[in-house]
Structure 1
Amino acid sequence: MTDLLAISTYPAEAPSADPLAPRAQQGRRSDRFATARRVAFGVFVLAMVVDFMASAAPTVVSTIRSTTTASPWWLLTGLACTVASMVAFSALRGWTLAVGGCRISLRQTVPISYAAGAVHTTLPAGAVFSTTYAFRRLRAAGASMSGITWSLTITGLLSTLTLGAIGLLGVALSGGISSSAPTAITQLLVTALVIAGLVRVARKPEALARLAHSVLTRFNTLRQRPVQTGHVRLAEILTDLNAVRSSGRDWLVALTLALTNWFLDLACLAACLAAVGIHVSFAVLLLTYTAGMAAGSLLPLPGGLGAVETTMTLALTVAGAVAAPALAGVLLYRVLSTGSVVVLGWIVIATQRSRTSRTAGRHAPVY
């Protein structure tokens, strides 16, 4: 009887194990397939890299050779131009702050501009962090919130306006009509209208004050807050806005400084190209520069890394320059223009943090 029970239990146990076996085998096959797919993809990528390096090796070697044989005097000229460009930008920021009722010396705005530029270039979403950094440092220097907001806004708009004008000048000098010219003209007109609107508001803020108080009241009602919440602070901001006094001379100086900033950086590019033996017309130089700046602003990469170099090199080769020296010149320009801002900017930030730490330690309580 026991033997019969033992025999009868075997068929009942077998089905309980069978459903798991196919699943385990299927899982192993799936793992092997995934591994094989990853290996195949890795081999494919490696093959593409090897193929690209093999085809690009002559250009890379020529680029390195052009870089190492670049004229040091032209490179020093380029470095001087990029430093002068940053000084012009800092002067523009200081001038717009003065128009907004805040007096900040050039000695203060230059390190702030370098540090903000380093943050903008090296960090993801650098524009947000650099604006925040500049705002805080300018506040620490004694500028008002409305004056800083005015300065940052107008500086950005003037930079956009003047860069677009430089691009259109390049199109006009080249004797051709670019397909992007209508878009550029539209952007210039929109930017000019925005600036005109801001100037109008700054000169006669009464209408803005009424609108702002009305919107704030409705917002408080929707949020079920006391109706007067925030009105005192809004009145303070509008009072600060009354300090903005811009004349025709102020705008002429600001436009001149904005153009000087771009043209000095453009001169840095020209010097780096001359250092590797490339000499192009002024029109080609303008178009190459503005195309590179536009490409760098379109992609969310720190400092437009890759986009600027590719666009500028392509523009130069289309104009007749040899690829290897063109790439070498562009890389040298990026090292001087962007690299100097990054290095000096982070040195400024490190110095500021060191001073803050020493000050905090000096005022720390002693137990």
Structure 2
Amino acid sequence: MADGAAPRNGLRAAAAWPARHWKTLVHWALVLAALAYIGWQMPELVRAVRDADEVLAQVRPGRLLLAVVLAMAALVLYGEMHRRVLEAGGAAVPARTVQAITFAENAISNTVPVVGGAGALAYAISRLRRRGVDAALASWSVFLPGALASILLLVLGVLALGAAGWLPLWLAVVVAAAIALGAAGAWAVVTHPAVLRRFLVVLVHIGRHLPWLCRGCRGVWASDPDGTAARLAARIGLLHPTSRQWAGLVVLSLLSWAADFLTLVACSTAVGLPAHWTALALGFLAVQVSIALQVLPGGAGLAETGLLGVLLAAGAPAAPAAATVLLYRMITWLGLSVVGWVVYAAQIHLAPPHRHRHAPEPLAGTL
């Protein structure tokens, strides 16, 4: 009897262990798994360093430092987009908090296999919820900057293809304009109250069956899905940025992409790569497409191959082209990911108490 009681006592003890301890354990396991993945990729990078050691030995430190600063600036500018959307919705979240969330979100997306993209979004939303931001605004502030940045990258990419001669310039301008106008039209449709409410009703019906969501919230959604959707639709309806705010978001997104591209330019000049800006622009697009495909976290493998292939096809010498790829990816992928995971680990001790609410979300912008 005593032998049978021991396992039951052990199960009760495990169940009684505070939930925050389990969260901390999972938290650290995630950090260690991501760092292990980064370590797994390091041998390939070390071999690439050996192949380009002669070029790297002559690297210009000032240009390399500029590349690091530009890469950090690109992510900081993207984080500022998050903060501006929160501000438009009435949530005064400190800039340092939003930046910490952005850096950690970037690290999760770039290094966690399979679910990195979705996990990064969920992480960012949960962090904002802990800061008292309501669910609708937290989700909107994560979704909107990403969508806007993707649309602008499409527009810039089409224009770059036109400038490089891969498309007739007039056609590139027409396609870019069509993308911009189509995105504006889609925004108007999606945010139309009737369309938005029907869409949210579907999401609420799906969400109430997801076991990992809060049981209390799922109970409210199950009892009144239409009312829940109406409250969320009303809240999102208040989150329309003004024309001035839209302009600020567009400028920040363009500056973020520009800083990221200039990071690649700085890496190329640091090793003396004689590449035209159009070749670098096409290589940059190849990297971003590889990252978006999420075949592997951060586009590992595909991004390096695509960038190197474009540079070699443009006639760049092999050694400085390989060195450029190596420096750019070490800074923008591995370097920023390590910084993000350090921030993520630090938030174990800095995160405020959980402030999740089960009351109906506010219909006004006051949070």
Q: TM-score surpassing 0.5?
A: yes
* Structure 2 counterpart of 1:197, from 175, 186, 189: 186
Q: Is the 8 A contact 1:67 1:332 kept in 2?
A: no
Measure, in 1, the Cα distance between the counterparts of 2:221 and 2:112: 40
Query: Where do residues 198-237 of structure 1 align in structure 2 (5 Å cutoff)?
Result: 198-202=187-191, 204-206=192-194, 208-209=196-197, 229-237=224-232
1:138 aligns with 2:128: yes
Secondary structure of the residue aligned to 2:52 is: helix
Measure, in 2, the Cα distance between the counterparts of 1:334 and 1:79: 11
Measure, in 1, the Cα distance between the counterparts of 2:226 and 2:138: 21
Q: Percent identity?
A: 27
* Structure 2 counterpart of 1:339, from 334, 341, 354: 334
Measure, in 1, the Cα distance between the counterparts of 2:120 and 2:221: 35
1:128 aligns with 2:118: yes
1:157 aligns with 2:147: yes
Partner of 1:257: 252
Query: Where do residues 158-307 of structure 1 align in structure 2 (5 Å cutoff)?
Result: 158-177=148-167, 185=175, 189=178, 193-202=182-191, 204-206=192-194, 208-209=196-197, 229-307=224-302
Partner of 1:95: 84
Secondary structure of the residue aligned to 2:150 is: helix
Partner of 1:84: 73
- Say which is worse superposed, 85-94 or 336-345, in terms of deviation: 336-345
Letter in 1 for 2:229: L
Figure out how many residues of one structure are paired with residues of the other and give that number: 293
- Taking only aligned residues, the RMSD between alpha carbons, in angstroms, comes to 3.4
1:109 aligns with 2:109: no
Measure, in 2, the Cα distance between the counterparts of 1:320 and 1:122: 32
Letter in 2 for 1:146: A
By how many angstroms is 1:320 displaced? 1.2
- Say which is worse superposed, 273-282 or 309-318, in terms of deviation: 273-282
Measure, in 2, the Cα distance between the counterparts of 1:214 and 1:351: 37
TM-score by length of 1: 0.71
Measure, in 2, the Cα distance between the counterparts of 1:139 and 1:115: 16
Measure, in 2, the Cα distance between the counterparts of 1:214 and 1:299: 27
Partner of 1:8: none
Measure, in 1, the Cα distance between the counterparts of 2:221 and 2:321: 64
Letter in 2 for 1:303: G
Measure, in 2, the Cα distance between the counterparts of 1:246 and 1:138: 19
Q: Is the 8 A contact 1:166 1:290 kept in 2?
A: no
Measure, in 1, the Cα distance between the counterparts of 2:119 and 2:204: 28
By how many angstroms is 1:152 displaced? 2.2
By how many angstroms is 1:192 displaced? 5.1
By how many angstroms is 1:259 displaced? 1.1
Work out which of the two has the higher radius of gyration on C-alpha atoms and give 1 or 2. 1
Query: Where do residues 61-80 of structure 1 align in structure 2 (5 Å cutoff)?
Result: 61-80=50-69
Which runs of 4 or more aligned residues in structure 1 lie more than 4 Å from their structure 2 counterparts after TM superposition? 58-62, 188-192, 210-217, 225-228
By how many angstroms is 1:228 displaced? 5.6
Deviations 1:41-90 (A, max 9, x none): xxxxxxxxxxxx9xxxx987541222233111111000010111111100
* Alignment CA distance shift 1:304-1:273 (3 Å): same
Q: Is the 8 A contact 2:155 2:180 kept in 1?
A: no
Q: Is the 8 A contact 1:66 1:328 kept in 2?
A: yes
Letter in 2 for 1:102: A
By how many angstroms is 1:196 displaced? 3.3
Structure 2: 5+ residue stretches without partners = 1-43, 209-219, 355-367
* Structure 2 counterpart of 1:311, from 306, 310, 328: 306
